[in-house]
Structure 1
Amino acid sequence: MPAPHRSHRRITIVGGGFAGLTAAISAAEAGADVTLHEAHRSLGGRARTDEAPYRTNEGPHALYRRGPHYPWLQQRGLLGPLAPLGLREAARIRFHHHGELHRVPPLALLRLRSRTDAPVDQDFLSWASAHVGEPAARAAAYYTGVATFHHDPGLLSAAFTHRILYRTTRLNPEARYIKGGWGALISRMADHARGLGVRIETGSRVDALPEDRPVIVAAQLDSARALLGDDSLTWSSSRTALIDLALRAHPKKQRPAGRRQPADLFVVSDLDRSGWIERFTAQDPTLAPPGEQLLQGQVGIAPHETRADGIARAERLLDAGFPEWRERVTWRRDALATGRTGAVDLPGTTWRDRPAIDRGNGVYLAGDQVAAPGVLSEVAFTSAIEATTLALSAARSATGARRPAP
């Protein structure tokens, strides 16, 4: 796509993650003169992917194909190759329930999925328990931990958690995996932005709002709060223990009666607590060296729990789904993510109650904890598009006001 004709409209973007790059591309396509500042030496934010040999994302990442960002990326040729998720991988999904592994989840999950009456002002557990009983309601709530990262999604708004349940239990799964990790997507977006004329300045920390407006702040909410000096910029998020593992490929040793060691599972979803382990090399072997498997997992932890508590639960989930995994470890990393897991809505609130995109005086917010609909990165995308639309309108108004009368 050729670079559009440049106008006198100037837009500054603070933050070079998925939201910031979305805003930069959208603004440049509309003819604005765009400068993007990223404090780190590399772009991507939480969408960064580590360099080889283990190409890990910051926690499990997937792209939901029914989200608004999917066709937007596709139309611009930015999706790139996607790692296939075939029937073989789907057959290797297990659900950890009542301490055992099952091939299918409780049928109550599908019964709840079909309902359309989940209320905003009631917690999910209470609402779901009235329809399928408390044990099944808890299992359904914990299942949504894959996309809420919350330690107890049953405490959240029924409407919010049910929407996650609906999106994540499709018989034709929405999740798609970017080959090479999300960093590959970020690289394509950055190249595309530069091709449109966007000036990208990495290692450029912005400690005070630029005087030249409009400005789109596409940073974490706590960073935006400090930059804007606005204590109202808060919203509920989650605390999550993350675990990354590289394992030697499963040995093909003989078992009694001539049975071979079964292949590693693809996913273990915990329905007894909030937790998820995924073998990302099942669909993209390039993420680890030949002969090794890359696993990434996340376990939601309560405010009073420690990272060690979460990692211990992750290890118990590994014990259930990947026996003898300790003997096969070639690399490991543990981490704690706090306030970096997107917005969650408590009973009585929706995405509309989150911090507004328009902060006044030519300042706009974009990110995954602001007032925009969607799931996970969809919130960042949608808020970036809205922030760009508002910023362009403000820039046009300012340009018109400065133009001398004929």
Structure 2
Amino acid sequence: MEFKSDIQKALDVAIDNYFIDFAKDNSVSLRVNNAGDFNSEKITIKGQNRQIIDKINGDSLSSASIPKASDSLKMLNNIRDIYISINEDSINFTKLKGLLNSELDRKNYDISYKLNHLKNDSIYASSRTENFTSGDFTVQGKSTYLKSRESIELLFPNAIIIILKKSLFSIVISLLLMVCILFALFYMQWVIKQQKQLSEIKDDLISNITHEFKTPISTIGAALESIRYFNTNNDIEKTNRYLDYSDQQLKKLETMVDQLMDTALLKTENWILEKRQVNIHNWAAEIIDNYKMNAQKKAILLNISKDSKSEAYIEPFHLGNCLGALIDNAVKYGGDKIEILIDNGESLTLQVIDEPGHLTKNQSEKIFDKFYRVPQGNLHNVKGYGVGLYYVKKIAEKHGGTAEVILKNNSTSFIISVPNE
């Protein structure tokens, strides 16, 4: 850990400087000018008006380190300079703390600490005698100037807080980078998901358009082939019937192309609806009658509220297409009973209810998306390419209204609500 390493180095440098300064201030030197006058039996050294060393003789020398004291004393006859350094058993904590504070300041650390002088693993002296909460962080000096089985111990509280303050900038940068990386990962995942959905929608759209366009094209081709090769008797009635089939299929193709073009047109801001006053009952009844002819097995009921106004200010063609799209959707996917409720007050509300409900909550949230179709696997029993309900929503918004779907009591309700200005 960088913090502990910095404190360790600061303590070791302070201890080294302490003993170096102590050696300079607490050493004396002796020069013998005349070897003949040197008395090896007794040496007295004085300094600063006090006697520092009383006597050096054979009895005062350690026999453990000098085998023969007499031989060692004879060596003094050849010595001209003698340097003597004096050691102390105690540590001057004031001086050591001054050196340590300088090192800590240099490393930009402002901490409260305590120093212990240990001998044989026991506290010999301490820099502070009052109560001091040291916490769990301790550093011991490793200076080579310390005697054997002697050490200087540094203790200080709130190591975690100090580390956090020192590393705050690095922590903040790391967190920001982590947040950026996580954001990038989630964004990339979202983009991949969106691209996958778009790819699925594209494939589904191509498949649906292919099936939708292929049917009228095949019908027209079959009708023309019948007229060309199998109407050898020039039967006018049969020819006209085949031509009617072709005309119907061409109109169907035209309708599908127009619907796709209208969907593209909805994105433009320049398209303005041409609104006018319309009799709601006649307008809705005409639309519903067209679908009753193609859905004879299903009951389509129209109910207009008693308090409804007779006329509404709307764009009848496109809003009529919206009502037709909802009815067509109910005919394709709903049950045998389809109910249309109309309430024409301050706003015009068109509600198409079919039973049983066929949508899930997840599907209902996407039902108005462009090109979305309820998944049916590879089946194409129900024709369409997913722009009908998208068209409904956009036309409602062009009127300044809304389009929504409500799932309730095993039924599906599509509701268009537009202002009746």
TM-score range, shorter chain: under 0.3
Judging by fraction of residues, say which structure has more helix.
2
TM value normalised by structure 1: 0.19
TM value normalised by structure 2: 0.19
Larger Rg, first or second structure (1 or 2): 2
Of structures 1 and 2, the one with the larger relative CO (CA 8 A, separation 6+) is 1
